[in-house]
Amino acid sequence: MTMLAHRTSPLWIAALVHRLSGIALAIFLPLHFLALGLAISGEARLEAFLRWSDQPLVKASEALLVGLLTVHMLGGLRLLALENLAWQNLAWHRRQVWFALLAIAAAMLVAFAFLASVV
């Protein structure tokens, strides 16, 4: 068994996805504030930004962002459940894998629903 064998566990992957989605959301936040600043600075600049945001690539990235937000939120809820609920040791691993898969499925569902409503 190698030193990195634990990195193939679904639980480790769920933790990694949670952290990466948090980093991606932290990168997005200043861009969101920039868009809000354009709304304050003038109608023409905001209108130009909104026209730019109608491009298909921007719409797809918005759906990805909603997916990342959902993954991050569900991962945080999973961690809260882990830390605050009384789990039986026998079924702990199975429940963790179930929560990780459920979080991924819910995130994909929300992202695709958002993309379908935008397009």
Can you give the pLDDT at residue 112? 81
pLDDT, tens only, 94-110? 777 777 788 888 888 88
Q: Two tokens at 37?
A: 């600043």
pLDDT, tens only, 60-82? 888 888 888 888 888 888 787 77
Return d(Cα 1, Cα 109) in angstroms, integer: 36
Contact, 106 vs 76, CB < 8 A? no
Query: Domain ranges in the chain?
Result: 12-118
Q: What CATH number is given for 12-118 in this structure?
A: 1.20.1300.10
Taking the whole predicted model, whether its pTM rises above 0.85 is answered as no
Return d(Cα 100, Cα 76) in angstroms, integer: 11
Region of residue 42 (phi > 0: left; psi between -120 and 50: alpha; otherwise: beta): left
